Structure 1
Amino acid sequence: MPENTNRGLVLSMNAYDDIDAAVDTAQLAEKLGYGFVTMGETNGRNVPLVLGLLAERTTDIGIADDVLSPFSRTPTTLGQTAATLQELSGGRFRLRLGASSPALVERWHGVDFDRPLRHVREAIEIVRQVQSGDRLDYDGEIFSPNTLKLESPPPKPPAPVDVASLGPKATEMAGRFADGWVPQLLTIDALEERLTDLRRGAELGDRSADQLLVTPHLRAGAIEDSSRARRYARQHVAFMIARYGPYYRKAIADAGWMDVTEAVRTAWDDGDRDVALASIPDELLDDLVAAGTPNEAREQLERFEAVDGVDAVQVSFFGPMDEAERRETMRALAPRE
């Protein structure tokens, strides 16, 4: 991925009926000047295959996954994936790793969600060994690949390895071992606090935090109908608090919003979605997402970009948005000279 990543775009793969439509959106992002494009993987399309297609159908834009887990693929497979996508893209790829969530790991992949930080740390180190082209010689607590080596030419340079995390220990680990950090749904104060953990990790790893690429993931809706955009935002935040694993709810609660997270979760569990959405105050909404008119959303996005230590913000969309609204948001938040 180019050093000057500018703003990035997260493709909502589940929003597209076919892969060509997603590729077309990535090509538009490239034309609009976005520095990189990325996409997540849950239980939908196999993301590395789509990234290979993006590498072939784009020219300059950086490419990344968002994110892959050592619970769903072995670290050596992740290393092969990084090497191959780095080759296909001509050096434009970044590998993003994360532990995922207990629900997805156990209910979709059917494996125990055990010692997630250790899984991610060992995966980082093994991915680097694979990309080096040397014979594997790794004696970890979880993984111990050895003897064999990558048979294809090792990528030069190797794809960087970033970590997606929210908590202090996981973020410290990213600072100590990874090449970058990708947080999501942190308030600005919490983001600044976690950056302190990232810098401490970098010091423990005897490296400079300036070497790490920090790219927060920011959900956004920049459309003329501000009230519609903010309802989309409330639906997203409420769902993340009530249903999408424990980590986001805890991160928001720890940022001083425990009463809100409890109210949202209780109302959602009771089946009263309107009350759940209404429980989210504007102050919290503006501290987590960018939602409103194009001018309002740009101002909110720029607050995250202004945080000391942030290198680029990657923009994604709210689930209920249609393609016209997604493209309106893309154009409104596109990088400017």
Structure 2
Amino acid sequence: MTELDLFVDPSDHDRPQSVADRAVDAEKLGFTTVSTGETTGWNVVPALALAADRTSDLRFSTAILSPYARSPALLAQTALTLSSLSDGRFRLGLGASSPAITERWHGQAYDRPLRRLRETIEVVRTIAVTGSSTYDGDIFDLDGLNYERGSSAVPPIDLATLGPTATELAGRFADGWMPQLFTRDGIEMRLADLRHGADLGGRSIDEVRVAPIVRCVVCEDRERARALGRNAVAFMLGAYGPYYGNSVADQGYADVVAEIRAAWEDRDTDAMAAALPDSLLDELAAVGTAEEVREWLVDYGSIDGIDAIQVSFVRGMDEADRENTLDAVSALL
């Protein structure tokens, strides 16, 4: 079995401290890494700092931070601080985010996202290795100030990407790749792009930790588990920006995505869920009984090139659902 990570959604928690509590539990259960994302809710860095201070072996990742929300220098400071606090257990997860969050929340123009990602990686590494922010790029042109703590080990940098060009970028420049909502055939196709990027970078794909995010729901009531998963996946495809839907459409499900999006135009979430066939739900999410979910994870984790699976919950699950799911999947550890 590949490694199991746990993605923790801050919106499932009333206080940042309980995100750290979940991380402590994850370490006890044997999970390798805990990751957490950031959109328009909490700044996740304090929660990760608390979690790192309360654990000893668990690794941590941001899945994801946006290069439009923080400057490359601040991202470097954040990564180096969390790496120091955790004795090197931190991974910096970055992604291009979306036009909606970038423009309507951060007030930035969503321009040249892939170039910005590449230059952000380079600036972070430059600061860590040289202790200076000096950089001459297309997006960032920095005369350079010195990082007060000098040079340091570079924390691993992971990218969350979906498309072929962006995934080549991850293969060429990143230390890890965090995809999501890929069928088995779809992720094997995209792994070829990752390998091509690694070839362009003169390295092996074995140097890139591949850890897809997978939505998991375990419930004694099998149909309830599947309904929760169906609602979550349909919302991601139809309402959560264009990229997830476009990605699944490109994997051979254009008609399904179009029907889900048409239902979203009427804000008909029941119709959105109904438009997602069982066959596609079973390709994209691990939902059902404990045994079904474990079998799904083992099968998906057996794909050549996958190093870990990030177990993620879905909206609508209560704490009992989350505990049941953790207990079920941790039996694989």
TM-score interval, smaller chain:
over 0.9
- C-alpha separation in 1, matches of 2:64 and 2:51: 16
Following superposition, the deviation at residue 137 of structure 1 comes to 2.4
Does residue 302 of structure 2 align to residue 306 of structure 1?
Answer: yes
SS in 2 for 1:291: strand
Q: Does the 8 A contact of 2:158 with 2:178 survive in 1?
A: yes
The residue aligned with 1:145 is 142
Alpha carbons of 1:5 and 1:52: their partners in 2 closer, same or farther (altered >3 Å)?
farther
1:183 to 179, 182, 196: 179
The residue aligned with 1:164 is 160
Does residue 27 of structure 2 align to residue 30 of structure 1?
Answer: yes
The residue aligned with 2:47 is 50
- C-alpha separation in 1, matches of 2:322 and 2:143: 46
Does residue 205 of structure 2 align to residue 209 of structure 1?
Answer: yes
In the alignment, residue 225 of structure 1 is paired with which amino acid? D
SS in 2 for 1:141: coil
Q: Does the 8 A contact of 1:33 with 1:335 survive in 2?
A: no
Following superposition, the deviation at residue 5 of structure 1 comes to 8.0
1:67 to 53, 61, 64: 64
The residue aligned with 2:90 is 93
- Runs in 1 of length 4+ with deviation above 3 angstroms? none
Following superposition, the deviation at residue 22 of structure 1 comes to 1.9
- C-alpha separation in 2, matches of 1:133 and 1:332: 46
Written as runs of structure 1 = structure 2, the 5 A alignment for 1:1-337 is 6-155=3-152, 157-334=153-330, 336=332
Following superposition, the deviation at residue 149 of structure 1 comes to 2.0
Following superposition, the deviation at residue 189 of structure 1 comes to 1.0
Q: Does the 8 A contact of 2:20 with 2:48 survive in 1?
A: no
Range with greater deviation from structure 2 (145-154 or 238-247): 145-154
Q: Does the 8 A contact of 1:5 with 1:35 survive in 2?
A: no
- C-alpha separation in 1, matches of 2:312 and 2:151: 32
Deviation sequence 1:9-37 (CA, Å, 0-9, x none): 01111111112222211111110000010
In the alignment, residue 50 of structure 1 is paired with which amino acid? A
In the alignment, residue 57 of structure 1 is paired with which amino acid? R
- C-alpha separation in 2, matches of 1:218 and 1:194: 16
In the alignment, residue 141 of structure 1 is paired with which amino acid? D
CA RMSD of aligned residues (A): 1.4
Deviation sequence 1:287-324 (CA, Å, 0-9, x none): 11110011111111122201110000001101100111
Deviation sequence 1:241-273 (CA, Å, 0-9, x none): 111111100011111111111111112222332
Alpha carbons of 1:206 and 1:335: their partners in 2 closer, same or farther (altered >3 Å)?
farther
Q: Does the 8 A contact of 1:94 with 1:160 survive in 2?
A: yes
SS in 1 for 2:7: strand
- C-alpha separation in 2, matches of 1:93 and 1:5: 20
In the alignment, residue 264 of structure 2 is paired with which amino acid? W
Q: How many residues align?
A: 333
- C-alpha separation in 2, matches of 1:322 and 1:215: 25
SS in 1 for 2:260: helix
Q: Does the 8 A contact of 1:135 with 1:146 survive in 2?
A: no
Deviation sequence 1:155-206 (CA, Å, 0-9, x none): 3x32111111000000001101111111011111111111000000000011
Following superposition, the deviation at residue 152 of structure 1 comes to 1.7
Q: TM-score, normalised by structure 2?
A: 0.97
SS in 2 for 1:152: coil
- C-alpha separation in 2, matches of 1:115 and 1:260: 29
